[in-house]
């Protein structure tokens, strides 16, 4: 990693966390209650994860059939380690958002850094991080599924890029890049399925 990339990551992480640090004192609202407060499986902690991958869960009839195993599993992991603590869940939410910003910055740097340096990727992600359109996604715990979708989508693109640039290499690293791209894409699709088009990219190329 180059020094500009390291400093850019550090600044973006600080900005992302500082911007939404006021959510740390928030509790559960709206759909948060449907997926956390009224969820009888979460009290089982890690033992609930297989349940979330084999069935959908919500007490709201209007939301029945929504399949969010990765989202609910993240809640179960937090429950097992920290108990039912809104503070911990909101801190994790902001950390996920910061990771999304860092992965996006790293991806843009890999794609355009050679031509435009670190300034353009940094300014692009800074605008992304500060845009108010993300407020609901970060402040509402239920909306973590969208954060996880983008998080795994970006991880998948990073792995795919590594695979693509090593297309003439038949070593385990090349095959590992392809495997990770598919694995992260799978987690992306079951976070929710809004990034279904990402799988088309891999099928096409």
- Whether residue 188 is contained in a domain is answered as no
How many domains would you assign to the chain? 1
- Whether residue 54 is contained in a domain is answered as yes
Tokens linked to 202: 């891999």
Q: CB-based burial of residue 54 (10 Å sphere; 0-12 exposed, 13-18 middle, 19+ buried)?
A: exposed
- Whether residue 84 is contained in a domain is answered as yes
- Whether residue 168 is contained in a domain is answered as no
- Whether residue 93 is contained in a domain is answered as yes
Q: pLDDT band at residue 159, thresholds of 50, 70 and 90?
A: confident
pLDDT of the residue at 79:
92
- Whether residue 176 is contained in a domain is answered as no
- Whether residue 153 is contained in a domain is answered as no
pTM: 0.84
Please count the other Cβ atoms lying within 10 Å of the Cβ belonging to residue 123. 12
pLDDT of the residue at 93:
95
Q: Domain span at residue 112?
A: 3-144
- Whether residue 129 is contained in a domain is answered as yes
């Amino acid at each position: 990693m180059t020094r500009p990339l390291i400093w850019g990551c550090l600044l973006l992480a600080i900005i992302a966390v500082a911007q939404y640090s006021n959510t740390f004192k928030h509790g559960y609202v709206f759909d948060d209650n449907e997926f956390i407060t009224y969820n009888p499986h979460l009290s089982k902690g890690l033992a609930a994860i297989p349940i979330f991958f084999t069935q959908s869960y919500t007490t709201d009839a209007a939301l029945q059939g929504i399949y969010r195993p990765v989202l609910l599993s993240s809640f179960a992991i937090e429950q097992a380690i920290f108990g039912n603590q809104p503070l911990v869940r909101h801190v994790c939410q902001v950390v996920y958002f910061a990771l999304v910003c860092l992965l996006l910055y790293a991806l843009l740097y890999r794609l355009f850094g050679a031509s435009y340096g670190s300034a353009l990727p940094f300014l692009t992600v800074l605008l992304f991080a500060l845009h108010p359109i993300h407020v609901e996604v970060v402040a509402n715990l239920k909306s973590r599924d969208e954060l996880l979708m983008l998080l795994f989508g970006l991880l998948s693109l990073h792995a795919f890029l590594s695979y693509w640039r090593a297309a003439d290499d038949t070593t385990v690293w090349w095959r590992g890049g392809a495997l990770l791209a598919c694995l992260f894409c799978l987690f992306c699709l079951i976070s929710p399925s809004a990034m279904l088009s990402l799988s088309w990219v891999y099928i096409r190329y």
